[in-house]
Amino acid sequence: MKIATILLLIILSTFFIAGCAQTDDYVDDTGDNGVPGDLDEGASDEVGENILEEDEELDLGDMIDI
């Protein structure tokens, strides 16, 4: 009986932890509506997001671990 109760508690707490881990939505609580204090930096960062590096590689993993 005790074992069953402990098992039940473990299962329920696993569900609780798994549920908490999924609430990872980003919340913007800075109060600046996304506008940075330094506009020069903010604007260049936004531009930089669309600039690509010439030597960028897509990582597909290794063929063997050596």
Partner 1 sequence: MKRITSLALVVFLVISAVSFVLAEETTIDEATQKEVKVMDYPLGAEIRLLQLEKSISKNIAKGEAVIEAFETIGEDTSELQFILNELKTIKEEVQALDSESETAVQDFVDLKKDARDTIKNFRDTANEIKSSLDDETLQALRESFREINEDKEFTEIKERIRNKIRQHNTERIRAIFGENAEQLKEQVQNGELNKEQIRKRVREIISQMTQEEKQGIFNEVREKNLINENTAKNILEKVKENFNERMTERNTNRRENQKGDS
Interface residues with partner 1 (CB under 8 A) are 1, 4, 7-8, 11, 15, 34-36, 39-54, 56-66
Min CB(31)–partner 1 separation in Å: 17
Min CB(14)–partner 1 separation in Å: 9
Residue whose entry in the numeric block shows the structure tokens 């690509």: 52
d(CA 31, CA 49): 23
Q: What is the CA radius of gyration of the chain?
A: 23
Min CB(19)–partner 1 separation in Å: 11
